[in-house]
Amino acid sequence: MADVIDAVVDWAPDDRIDVLRSGFPAGVVAHLAGRMGWTKERAIDALKLKRSTVLRKIKEARRLDTPDSERLMAVMDMIAQVERMVTRSGDPAGFDAALWLAGWLDAPCPALGGQRPSDYLDTNEGIQVVRGVLARMESGAYA
């Protein structure tokens, strides 16, 4: 599953839509959490997933529903966004975009009025706001 986390951002739009419609295997939550240095519980909270539902689906090796899968994919896309930003800015050697993103998502953000970016991950609109803040950071128009 870990290779899916890296690969999904490069999939063709039709493939991305297909996986969203069928849902990610629930175990991807734990893999993404581990990649980001979060516990599974922290990932469930940050992504505003229903704890009992996700834990049951993980245990039963079932798939997440589309909205939950969309939030997972959004975070995967943000990791790739940060990786591209760092690569364009200089030498990415030793930089872990997933760990950096996890810390940034959990910290108060001046560009969001002091709220944590993770507080915005429950809606598509909020996700776009967070991705916009990341994009502005690269240009220097962050705060």
What tens digit of pLDDT does each residue of 37-95 get? 999 999 999 999 999 999 999 999 999 999 999 999 999 999 999 999 998 888 888 89
Q: Around 47, how many Cα atoms within 13 Å sit in the side-chain half-sphere?
A: 30
Handedness of CA 67, 24, 54, 120 (dihedral sign): negative
State pLDDT tens for residues 88-123.
888 888 899 999 999 999 999 999 999 999 999 999
Average pLDDT over residues 22-34: 95
DSSP H helical ranges for 8-123: 13-22, 28-36, 40-46, 51-59, 66-89, 97-106
Q: What is the band of 142 on the pLDDT scale with cuts at 50, 70, 90?
A: low
- 24 phi and psi, to 5 degrees? -70, 145
State how far the Cα of 68 lies from the Cα of 88, in Å rounded to an integer. Answer: 31
Question: Which residue segment(s) compose the domain that 76 sits in?
Answer: 2-139
Total number of domains in the chain: 1
Per-residue confidence (pLDDT) for residue 4, from 0 to 100 = 67
Q: What is the pTM assigned to this prediction?
A: 0.91
State how far the Cα of 134 lies from the Cα of 132, in Å rounded to an integer. Answer: 5
